[in-house]
Structure 1
Amino acid sequence: MQDTFDKTGNGVEKPSKTQRKQTMHALQKIGEQLTTLSDKQLDDLNLPDNLLEAIYHIRQIGKFGARQRQLQYIGKLIRQIDIFPIQDKLNAWQQKSLHQTALVHLTEHWRERILSDANALTEFVKQFPATEIQQIRLLVRKAHKEKNSDKPPKSYRLLFHALQTAIKNAQN
C-alpha cells in the first residue's frame, strides 16, 4: 500500500489501483442493473437528470462496443452520487422478485401433487387451512376432464390461481 500524507502529516492509506478498478466495475454493474429497470422504477430512484439521460440513451444502442462505452460512462456518473439508497432499493426489488418466483414454484409443486395424488389435497388443507376446499376439488375434477378430452387447460390455470391465493393468504 502506498501512503500519502494529509495536511497534518499523518499517513493515510490510498486504495490500490486494483481496489479502485474493482469499485469502478461494481458501480458499472449497478449501472447495468439500472438499464434493465422500467421507467417507473427509475422515477422511484430519483436519479440525476444526466444519469437518467445516459440510461435512456443506452436502450437505443445496439452495438456491443458502443454499449460498453456507455456503461462506463454511466459508471462514471454513478461515482458522483450516493449509491447506497439506490443499492438498497435494487436489493429490495430483487428480494421481492425472488419471493414471487418461490411462490410460483411452490404453487406449481402443489398443483402437480394435487392432480397426481388424491391425498395431497388433504395435506395442502392441513398446511393452508384457509383454503376453499370445494372450489379446489371442483377445479381438480374439471382439470382431469379437460386433460382426458384434450380441451384447453382452463381449469388447470384456475386451479393454479386458487392454490396461489390460498398460499398467499396463509403467508399474510
Structure 2
Amino acid sequence: MTPFEHEDALLPSIDDNEEEIIYVSKSEIKRDAEALKKLGVELVQLSKNELSKIPLDEDMIYAIELAQKIKKEGYRRQIQYIGKLLRNRDIDPISQALDKLKNRHNQQNAILHKLEKLRDDLIDTGDAEPIIAWNPQADRQQLRQLARTAKKERDTNKPPKSARLIFQYLKDLSESD
C-alpha cells in the first residue's frame, strides 16, 4: 500500500445516491418572505364573508382579524407575523381561493360596465332593441319612458335619477337570469 492509498482510505466515501444540498440565497429567502407578506396583506383586505371562503385554520383567521383592527406600526408587525404563519402552511389552496374571489370580482365589474354601456346607449338613442335582444323579459315601454326622462334630466343638468333607475332595472334583469 502506498502512502497515498492509505490517506484515501481514511477519507469518507462520497455516495452518489445521497441527496443534493440545495443552496438557497439570502435574497431568494427575502423575496419569498415578501411574497408571503403580500399574500397576507391581500387576506387582511378581505371582508369577513370573503375570508370565510378561503381555506384557513383558526390561528390564521385570528391573526388576520387582529390585523384588520390594528393601525400603524402594530399593523406592519402583524403582517410580518401573518407572513411567518404562511411559511408553515401550504399556500396553494389559499392562493387559488383568493384568485377565484378576485376573478369573481372582475366578472362582476365587467357585467356592471356592460350594463352602464347599455344604459348610456339607451339614453342617447332611445332605442330599447339591444336591451330587448339581451333580455326579452325587459319592459320596452318602461325603458323608453325612463330613457326620455333621463335625456331631459341630462339636458337640463338635473340629477340623473332616471338614469339610476334604468341602471337598477337593468341590474335587476341581469340578476334574474
TM, length-normalised to structure 1? 0.77
Identity of aligned residues (%): 33
Separation in 1, partners of 2:68, 2:34: 20
Task: Name the residue aligned to 1:88.
Answer: 96
Which structure has the greater CA radius of gyration?
A: 2
Task: Name the residue aligned to 1:158.
Answer: 165
Secondary structure of 2:22's counterpart equals strand
Separation in 1, partners of 2:124, 2:161: 18
Task: Name the residue aligned to 2:77.
Answer: 69
Within a 5 Å distance, the mapping from 1:42-53 to structure 2 comes to 42-53=51-62
Residues 14 and 38 of structure 1: CA distance in aligned 2, closer, same or farther (over 3 Å): same
1:60 to 69, 76, 79: 69
Q: More strand per residue: 1 or 2?
A: 1
Shift of 1:19: 2.3
Q: Is the 8 A contact 2:132 2:140 kept in 1?
A: yes
What does the per-residue CA deviation read over 1:45-64, in whole Å, with 9 as the maximum and x for residues that have no partner? 3422222222122223222x
Residues 117 and 6 of structure 1: CA distance in aligned 2, closer, same or farther (over 3 Å): farther
Secondary structure of 2:52's counterpart equals helix
TM, length-normalised to structure 2? 0.75
Task: Name the residue aligned to 2:113.
Answer: 105
Computed over aligned residues only, the root mean square deviation of the Cα atoms, in angstroms, reads: 2.9
Task: Name the residue aligned to 1:138.
Answer: 145
What does the per-residue CA deviation read over 1:53-109, in whole Å, with 9 as the maximum and x for residues that have no partner? 22122223222x332221111100011122111111111111111111111112112
Q: Is the 8 A contact 1:6 1:12 kept in 2?
A: no
- Residues 1:33 and 2:56 are matched in the alignment: no
